[in-house]
Amino acid sequence: MVIGDIHGGFRSLRQCFERTNFSHDNNKLIVMGDIVDGWPETKQVIDELLKVKNLVLLLGNHDQWFLDYCLTGNKEYMWLVQGGYNTLKSYGDNIPQSHINFLQSAKLWHIENNILFVHGGIIPGTKVENNDKHTILWDRDLIINTHKKSNGRPNYRMQDVYKEIFVGHTTTGHFNKMYKPMKCGEVTLIDTGGGWEGKLTIMDLKTREYWQSDFVRNLYPQSDGRKDYTKQTKMYSKLFHQHP
């Protein structure tokens, strides 16, 4: 099983588990990164993921932001307005060391049966280990260019290093409003907007069948998530005396 960017959505994570009859003891789960920031239950998300015995956690750019805060105490302004404040609220005054250790154990990439799993992307035609950390966590060019150049052709390929590449980070809402996993050539985008206005997706890697949560915004009717930038920017600037 592989699951897209959770972004603090514990309720959407639970729905995905329930709808697949996921077994914490028997099923393997590859988590595509960005488990924190956005919806208000990051602590509960990590508590739940810690129960999965066979889990591969990829590091996302939001996870790196939160980890940097845990290790240095620095509240980076852009992190706060991109969901970090909701992450801090979910913990109150106590971030368990087990959660910090969990994030520190995250991998930059995972390869299985010559399928590459990476949060952001890589430069086409290169091995993942020859890409820098910023590219691996932040890249959007791989999926954007593959989408543009493949033009719906299922056999189109941007590279020949890996049989397939799975990415998160860039939501399918960037391309359409279907909120379904999107396959462009050999690249599959599985971030279906679970951290924004879309759904969280979990997929069986053997059959490619997938299941989704409800629209996550409907699961958290009292939370804006990280949608209202204007309001959040003014509030966070006042609270933390930091400016863009």
Domain 2-239 belongs in CATH node 3.60.21.10: yes
Mention every residue, 6+ apart, whose C-beta is less than 8 A from residue 151.
none
Rounded to 5°, angle at Cα 55 from 215 and 192? 25
pLDDT, one tens digit per residue, over 33-52 is 999 999 999 999 999 999 99
Q: For the chain, how are helix, strand and coil distributed in percent, rounded to 5? A: 40, 15, 45
The answer, as to whether pTM is greater than 0.85, is: yes
Residue pair 71/41 in contact by the 8 Å Cβ criterion: no
pLDDT, one tens digit per residue, over 106-164 is 999 999 999 999 999 999 999 999 999 999 999 999 999 999 988 867 778 888 899 99
What spatial distance separates the first Cα and last Cα of the chain, rounded to whole Å? 39
Query: Minimal CA–CA distance to 168: which of 103, 117, 116, 106?
Result: 117
Between the alpha carbon of residue 215 and those of residues 73, 121, 193, the distances in Å are: 33, 26, 9
DSSP, res 199: B
242's tokens: 């930091």
